[in-house]
Structure 1
Amino acid sequence: MALEVISVAVSDIDRSLEFYTKNVGFGLDVDYRPTPSFRVVQLTPPGSACSIHLIKSGDAGRIRNLTLVTTDLVTERDRLLKSGVNVEKIRHKTPLATWAGEWADGVDPERHDYASFANFLDPDGNEWTLQERGFQSIY
């Protein structure tokens, strides 16, 4: 089995479609409206096998911690900021070995997988977490 699609409730599909495609960089797979009351909008993050469906709902902003994994959290955060996405500051777990500690500012000093994070919200308050995995030092 594979997770293929996650439904994301939004209050305005057109506004969210623009945010996810123009600001975040998701690809538009489907925007299908066979009747005035039925619309399917499917978007996929670059490099992902899992997509999202934008669903018009009064329960918008209820999803937390949808995770997008990137190989370079600093670069991805900078790109999103330049695209108009309000991304929080990067933080990392410390001590990493037990995951029972606190947060410290910035990326993990040794760029360990799954140790560094930054969050952002979509226009409806759905929360996304950026997480670094697979950073390859060029030094």
Structure 2
Amino acid sequence: MDLRLELLPIPVSDTDRAIAFYSEKVGFKLDHDITPGGGMRIVQMTPPGSSCSIGFGDGWVGTPPGSIQNLHLVVDDIRAVHAELSGRGLEISEINDMSAPGKPTVSYAYFADPDGNSWALQQMARRT
């Protein structure tokens, strides 16, 4: 049996503002933007290199905007990604390197979308 997590609903208050943020500031690709009717609008966007997308829009995500916290985007080179995102005007925290004796360093940087849904960039040793 395969179970693949491929779509995470993200509650937003303004669909067009969210599309602009995720595409222009974070570099997600717009996969779908459809209006099936009945006041519903469904948007799907995917981070570069990811098999999992986010979805948001009007009339289908019932949780309050800003209620999703600490989603992780795992990267190979956090310093390069941080520089690229900062260069796009994204407000992002400084990189925090965390380590423990005998353990590889794990690094994080944090940002939020306009509604307050929060994200973490994470760089860690590859799983084997």
User: When the two structures are superposed, what TM-score results if normalisation uses the length of structure 1?
Assistant: 0.80
**Which residue in 2 is equivalent to 1:91?**
96
Aligned twin of 2:37: 35
Runs of 4+, deviation exceeding 6 Å: none
Taking the TM superposition and a 5 Å limit, the aligned residue runs for 1:58-97 are: 59-95=64-100, 97=102
Percentage of identical aligned residues: 40
Number of equivalent positions = 121
**In structure 1, distance between residues paired with 2:101 and 2:40:** 47
Q: Deviations over 1:39-79 (max 9, x none)?
A: 11000000100000014467111111100011110010111
The corresponding residue for 1:48 is 50
Find the aligned partners of 2:45 and 2:85 in 1 and give their Cα distance. 17
Q: In structure 1, what is the equivalent of residue 121 of structure 2?
A: 130
User: Where does residue 20 of structure 2 map in the other structure?
Assistant: 18
Structure 1: runs of 5+ lacking an equivalent:
99-111
Gaps of 5+ in 2: none
8 Å Cα contact 1:7-1:55 kept in structure 2 = no
Aligned to 1:10, the other structure's residue is in SS state coil
Distance verdict in 2 for CA 1:131–1:52, change over 3 Å: same
